Chain A
């Protein structure tokens, strides 16, 4: 898959416009998982903007983001870095070329407490 295509796909699925970023770093300042991450939220934004997506997709940072959305809440420019992280995760999943989960896998994974909504969103996220 070509680099531009992935970039476009990420921008499209996240709905984020990284050009709005004014590089203030408030996202990284606010991030509770900062020290766990190799690439920090502000870097996510600028790397996606530059099409530098490969390293992001291979980075563990992806899974260190807690999706707490503090960066989204506090970004003065409404850039929404967490949505980009989410979109890169999705790109990784989709690149694996197969479904992460099948319907048959589900019964053993869930317990009674799992809300249905979570199942639906997991399906959306982890299947092609």
Chain B
């Protein structure tokens, strides 16, 4: 028989406001096994934990029940408390009387009654708990970073700096991501390339870091500390190790008219290309959809001009298999499509552009060499209208846009407006805003400068319609503060498009078994306390894949993710979750039902000799579970007809005891 201690938490008034905590403690005193029962204001506080520790020692408790907040909140805390007092941490059960009782019920009587029942269920369960010891598994001391933008770069550099090897997988031919496309960065107006490209070079030169560019993650198996990953290295038809990046092939390629992805299709590139001058790796890539040699077998010019002999038209996709201890997701974001926003005439006029396109237009390495020219006719615009919140902050049922604030638009729009006024003072710049959100160091000051020093016209209101007329764009908008409808003849309209997670994120999340929210952003293990970890052990989040972020935030999250990875890789062994399945050999039929439902391949079979009546023996096939691989879902326990397979910590008898306690 267990000696159970019950600890009822008030959680200030959070619980005590709706639940008569003293009555709960009193009622549970009479439950089987309970030898001690008390209540306290804050069980999770040091003083509260001391009450638990003392009671364990004083009453020789073998199991404890804490009636408090959700186990998702403080189960780990109380397990540690128990361990500190010499009690096996798995002898702790939590009755969730806050989130699932006091917070959802208003009436004291009902709340108290339910809390007592939940407490009884937890007592019934803890009576059947057994001490559990976690298994151990080795850690592969290598990290994988998926995505080679500033988030991935920073994470990789930080991990490598601690001495662990890192691989970066990037789908594009070069690392650098969105930041490489930017011109200047707010609020300091550093040139993006000036601060990013040295980091890219660091990555290339760091011997701990391998870059798999033009590659994708194909398959992920294994578990924390021991991921098995298959990476598909797409054929770039250029031998990466031989190509010197001289660019002779790029100059000679006759297939010149292909939209240049790096400049968002605002100019063209040849079939063989290097995305930009500072690309890492600086290696040419052949676009198989554009190359005449690959399509029709005619041409071969690049192979002839390549002095290094790096061109290889026969190259095939290659699968690389590697083991990793930790995986960092840094898949980043993209602006949403403007297809559905007819009112802004994005599809009708070349002079309606997104902010990222504007970024390329003003970038010295961009299609116009940094001269602000209209895409339609190359004239310099005299009136520019910036529209904020295009597709952000939409209603949940809106099919056009996103419900969330994209976070970066206010600041980059201020930056664009300011830089335009700075370089072209004769230009009229209007910014239509709903709210200007500038929480960040020096952010509001920056915005105020745009208005006060640079004379950007900020207008509270939204643009309703943009109509191309002749070479002008008729912009119809409202000015809410002066209660007027405005009609502006603009030369250029710049839309601050909402951002969304990269399309590759969803399939990747499935491979990683990492969870996502409805917007396809990766969810963090805890929104406040574990913001850079995915709930899936060993998977970490860096940058905009977790939510909209600017560069400073991305870099700090990248560093945080790296430090979490380092913390993991620094361990030689991982202690696993002891709540794993195990098979009772005496009852196992060896029927393979469990093996078929196991998502992790944790179950294997062996022939074992069993003693039978009359001194005979019998060899039977029985299941055995690898506790390091088992994640404890319990699918096998239901597939098992004989009930030989059970789950530690959530045993059949424990759950049935809970059912019985609740239904009593």
Contact = CB atoms under 8 A, between A and B. Distances in A.
Interface string B466-495: 000000000011111001010000000000
Contacts of B463: 26, 29
Given A23-B480, A42-B478, A30 B465 contact: yes
Nearest to B434: A24
Interface string A38-49: 001011000000
A128 interface: no
Given A24-B389, A76-B393, A76-B398, A42 B464 contact: no
B480 A25 contact: yes
Contacts of A31: 464, 485
A33 to B, nearest CB: 10
A24 B461 contact: yes
Contacts, number: 73
A75 B400 CA distance: 10
B464 A74 contact: yes
Contacts of B389: 24, 76
B365 interface: no
B460 interface: yes
A25 B461 contact: yes
A16 to B, nearest CB: 12
Contact of B401 (A30, A43, A70, A76): A76
A34 B462 CA distance: 14
A20 interface: yes
Q: Max chain B CB contacts within 10 Å: which of A23, A27, A76?
A: A76
B395 A76 contact: yes
Contacts of B586: none
B253 to A, nearest CB: 44
Given A24-B462, A34-B485, A74-B464, A29 B476 contact: yes
Contacts of A42: 478, 480
Nearest to A39: B483
A59 interface: no
B476 A30 contact: yes
Contact of A29 (B393, B395, B461): B461
A61 B389 CA distance: 29
A22 B485 contact: no
Contacts of A8: none
A24 to B, nearest CB: 4
B485 A35 contact: yes
Nearest to B481: A25
Interface size class, chain A: 20 to 34
Interface in A23-81: 23-31, 34-35, 40, 42-43, 70, 73-79
Interface size class, chain B: 20 to 34
Contacts of B477: 29
Nearest to A74: B343
B394 interface: yes
B484 to A, nearest CB: 9
User: In terms of DSSP, what is the predominant structure of the interface of chain B?
Assistant: loop
A73 B340 CA distance: 11
B461 to A, nearest CB: 4
Contacts of A78: 394-395, 397-398
Contacts of A79: 395
Contact of B483 (A27, A40, A73): A40
A101 B398 CA distance: 38
B340 to A, nearest CB: 11
Given A40-B478, A76-B389, A76-B395, A26 B464 contact: yes
Q: Max chain A CB contacts within 10 Å: which of B391, B463, B480?
A: B480
B394 A70 contact: no
Given A24-B461, A29-B485, A30-B343, A76 B478 contact: no
Contact of A70 (B393, B434, B464, B485): B464
Contacts of A27: 464
A26 B434 CA distance: 9
Q: Max chain B CB contacts within 10 Å: which of A27, A73, A74, A79?
A: A74
Nearest to B461: A25
Contact of A28 (B395, B401, B464): B464
A86 to B, nearest CB: 20
Contact of B393 (A22, A25, A28, A34): A22
Interface string B388-410: 01010111011011000000000
A22 B464 CA distance: 15
A122 B462 CA distance: 34
Given A22-B434, A24-B461, A74-B464, A29 B394 contact: no
Contacts of A76: 389, 391, 393-395, 398, 400-401
A79 B434 CA distance: 16
Contacts of B479: 25
A28 B393 CA distance: 18
Contacts of B464: 26-31, 70, 74
A95 to B, nearest CB: 27
Contacts of A34: 478, 485
Interface in B513-528: none
Contacts of B485: 28-29, 31, 34-35, 40
A31 B477 CA distance: 9
A25 B485 CA distance: 10
Contacts of A40: 478, 483, 485
A26 B395 contact: no
A76 to B, nearest CB: 4
Contacts of A26: 462-464, 478
A31 B343 CA distance: 12
Nearest to A20: B395
Given A24-B389, A40-B478, A29 B397 contact: no
Contacts of B480: 23, 25, 28, 42
Contacts of B393: 22, 76-77
Contacts of B343: 30, 73-74
Contact of A25 (B394, B460, B465): B460
Interface string A1-32: 00000000000000000001011111111110
B462 A29 contact: yes
Nearest to A43: B483
B486 to A, nearest CB: 8
Interface of B: 343, 389, 391, 393-395, 397-398, 400-401, 434, 460-465, 476-480, 483, 485
Given A24-B434, A25-B461, A76-B394, 18 more contacts: A25-B434, A28-B464, A28-B480, A28-B485, A29-B461, A29-B465, A29-B477, A30-B464, A30-B476, A31-B464, A31-B485, A40-B485, A70-B464, A70-B465, A74-B343, A75-B395, A77-B394, A77-B398
The 3 closest A-B pairs by CB, nearest first: A30-B464, A29-B464, A26-B462
Interface of A: 20, 22-31, 34-35, 40, 42-43, 70, 73-79
24 contacts: A23-B434, A23-B480, A24-B461, A24-B462, A25-B462, A28-B464, A28-B485, A29-B461, A29-B463, A29-B477, A29-B485, A40-B483, A40-B485, A43-B483, A70-B464, A74-B343, A74-B464, A76-B389, A76-B393, A76-B394, A76-B400, A77-B398, A78-B394, A78-B397
